[in-house]
Structure 1
Amino acid sequence: MGLFDKIFGTGSKIKVQFIDSDNGQTIGISEMTASQLPETFSLQTTMHYHNDAWVIEEAIPENSIDFIKTKSLILKMRKTEKIDLSEVWFTTPTISNEFPRLEPKTRDTAYDLGIHEDDYRQREFLSPGSTPKIEEEFVGIREVWSEYSKKSGDITVFKNCHVRKTIGPPNLVIDFKQLKSLLECKSVGQVIINERTLSNGFVIRTDNTTYFGTLDGETVIELCMANWNEESTNEILEINQAFNLVFVNWTHCDLVI
């Protein structure tokens, strides 16, 4: 995001100090309003200054609720190397437009699941009413496969990546106790993304499959699949039938009704 494009506005309230991580020197100081800053720097943030891209490596404090109180923010950042975009290839043909909400990791569980941010909502359950939007997204993903993919060793890489924008939040309404009972799961873990914890997240495992998602109280509002085997299809069909859902594997445009 281009924070430097905004720092010279009026109505400033928070003193922001910009520090070059390579040498520890201050490269700029500005006063900014809260509306000019993100709610959190826990997600990777990039800014541009004098046509150079800078990645924020550390923010002190990290969250807006804190720097609004202190009226002070220190941003330690590093200049990024210019990348030849013609040589950039993606390892997935599609990603979700919604980024998972994360919070600091405070504990470990026996069922911790670490996933890459790109794997968030790649294999998920949705309501049947989403089917027309699913087919619409499949059009873009299939185009990436047909027009912008190539083999690189044992994997396929992609010149373009389709960002899914029409689906939105799943907003499922699944009783968590019923889901655990159906899958015969008793232990619950947490999801780790970028060394942080998925907010209100959970992990449950069967002999065949690892599921994860998010909760609103005791209601599952997102349900995704991480690890599976050939026997997982039977579980998918059981979940679909029990909770009136459909399952979609976005990467390969697979829909299980």
Structure 2
Amino acid sequence: MPDNGLIEVVFVDAADGRPFGRTELPAAQLPESFEPDTRLGLAGALWEVLHAAPADRASAPAAGRTVLTLRRFRTVDPQEVAFSLPTICAGLPPLAPPDGAADDLVLHEDDWRQAELVERGCLAEVEAQLHEVMRVYREHSRTAGDGESAVRVFESLHLREDPAQPLTGALTRQRLFELLPASRTYAGVALPDGQGRVVDSFAARVGPVAVYGRCAGDRVLELGLTPATAAEAAAVPGLAALMREFDLLLVDWCAVRCEGDGATR
């Protein structure tokens, strides 16, 4: 620790936890604070600050040194950018502040309404959207990797805005769970990392999937399933009866699949 009025600054690589450099600076030359994502140029490379101890200039003289944990910042060639999904829902549902005490189904925002039930009156909108998703597969997808590690990636994705009203309220939450026997009921739906809870949401575990959605009172406005294969969807107890009673279609957007009486694609 320097005793000449200078602050020792230690640079630690987050990749392996080892120091890779040291310097001494007057406290006045330190930033007022090292906020996360602060970037520094060192030895011809750009680094991001993940953690600083202490985190502000005012505390540095007492400590005598500042330890910065850094991650090398890498830029990406736009030609190499690819998406893992061919489509996502364009609009997220309204969110309320997170409630850490609630037993919620945590759902990534990209998974919202990726597989869902819609009324047959939306069939024309569904077919138009599926056409656009199929076009992404045909014109904007490629295989990345080799052998068993190979995956399909997409250079663009389709943002779905329709159907904006997949359900018009004929289905109630009470009738939904009369037909779908839930093995577990959640308080609602939350997005990860404290982004928030979906307003007026519900969720439950039914067979091999979770069903979730939003209500207005007891009327179900949106009804999604955690992405499932056709076989898993067929194994959901009560799902076929629900679809018959309310004339619903099951749409799996990423699989470009629409199922229902007379609407199998």
For Structure 1 versus Structure 2, the TM-score category normalised by the shorter chain is: 0.5 to 0.7
Give the equivalent residue in structure 2 for 1:116: 108
How many percent of aligned residue pairs carry the same amino acid? 25
Assess if the C-alpha contact under 8 Å between 1:94 and 1:161 holds in 2. yes
- How far off is 1:238 after superposition? 2.2
- How far off is 1:216 after superposition? 0.9
1:37-186 correspondence runs (5 A): 84-110=77-103, 112-152=104-144, 153-173=149-169, 174-185=171-182
Assess if the C-alpha contact under 8 Å between 1:125 and 1:224 holds in 2. yes
Helix, strand or coil for the counterpart of 2:143? Answer: strand
Q: TM-score, normalised to structure 2's length?
A: 0.62
- How far off is 1:234 after superposition? 5.0
Unmatched segments (≥5 aa) in structure 2: 1-30, 35-72, 261-265
- How far off is 1:81 after superposition? 8.3
Give the equivalent residue in structure 2 for 1:41: none
- Larger displacement relative to structure 2 (187-196 or 144-153): 187-196
Q: After superposition, give the CA deviation of every residue in 1:199-222 in whole Å (9 maximum; x if it has no partner).
A: 111111122221010111111111
- How far off is 1:24 after superposition? 5.3
1:160 and 1:221 mapped to 2: Cα distance? 29
Matched, 1:241 2:212: no
Number of residue pairs matched by the alignment? 181
- How far off is 1:242 after superposition? 2.1
1:83 and 1:231 mapped to 2: Cα distance? 38
- Pick closer, same or farther for the CA change 1:144–1:23 going to 2, 3 Å: farther
1:148 and 1:231 mapped to 2: Cα distance? 28
Higher-Rg structure is 2
> How large is the Cα RMSD of the aligned pairs?
2.4
Q: Which amino acid aligns with 1:181?
A: E
Assess if the C-alpha contact under 8 Å between 2:212 and 2:223 holds in 1. yes
Assess if the C-alpha contact under 8 Å between 1:93 and 1:162 holds in 2. yes
- How far off is 1:247 after superposition? 1.1
2:143 and 2:217 mapped to 1: Cα distance? 44
Assess if the C-alpha contact under 8 Å between 2:83 and 2:154 holds in 1. yes
Helix, strand or coil for the counterpart of 1:251? Answer: coil
